[in-house]
Amino acid sequence: MNNTILESLIDDLVTANLILFNEGVLDAFGHVSVRNPHNRDHFFLARNMAPGLVTKEDILEFNLDGEVVNNDPRKVYLERYIHSEIYRERDDVEAIVHSHSHSVVPFSVVKSAPLKPMCHMSGFMGTHVPIFEIRDVAGDKTNMLITNRKLGSSLTQSLGENTLVLMRGHGSTVVAPSLKQAVYRAVYVEVNAQLQIEASRLGPIEFLSEGEAQATQVTNEGQVDRPWNLWKTRAIKAQKSWLPEV
């Protein structure tokens, strides 16, 4: 195992948590994970804590049953099964972000206003964004959380081959072939949702065509280091301003 590569990946996972918090995608809740490149049946995810406070020491390794691999006794996220089941079914996925970003949630409950890419930065969303309905799987008395493998598997089926799935009254889950792309996508899902809400007040919206969505995805996601480096610098600076001991 190349420890340098692994350490760099863990550093990036910490950074991803800070970026997503600073950019308003995550708050005290939500989480981001990345697959272990040396063991594709394992992934890394922080312990149960606010993303904006995550450090290297808080990162745990999980297997595809959603269990910690080294018997670490610290509390873990209840919804780790989102990650474990998607990694189990989608070999193309290397990183996952689950969030409750504020502008996205309304699109999970208003079926007459589907979330679609209207901005060239969000072509990765594709022309159809599925919505997971937990009532179809577990009835109408759940806590809305993905707290076991069955629910995680059902969510994965709703996701299908897409990059994004909304979760009715809950939030969304974004997948990507790299950690930086997952962060990029999570940020621009929220941006697109904000823009779509604003544009809908003006009149009918001209959304991206399927061809435009595909072409813009290829172009923009080839440049993910550009926003990543900006967001990283901004997040670290912001954290130091409100958490002096870091």
Hey, which residues are catalytic here?
Answer: 79
- Indicate the pairing of strand 42-46 with strand 59-63: antiparallel
| Residue 34, beta-bridge partner list | 44, 95
Using alpha carbons only, how large is the chain's radius of gyration in Å? 17
Mapping DSSP onto H, E and C, the string for 146-213 reads CCCHHHHHHHHHHHCCCCEEEECCCEEEEEECCHHHHHHHHHHHHHHHHHHHHHHCCCCCCCCCHHHH
Cα separation, 80 vs 151, in Å, equals: 11
Cα separation, 69 vs 47, in Å, equals: 13
Contact 159, 88 (CB under 8 A): no
Contact 148, 81 (CB under 8 A): yes
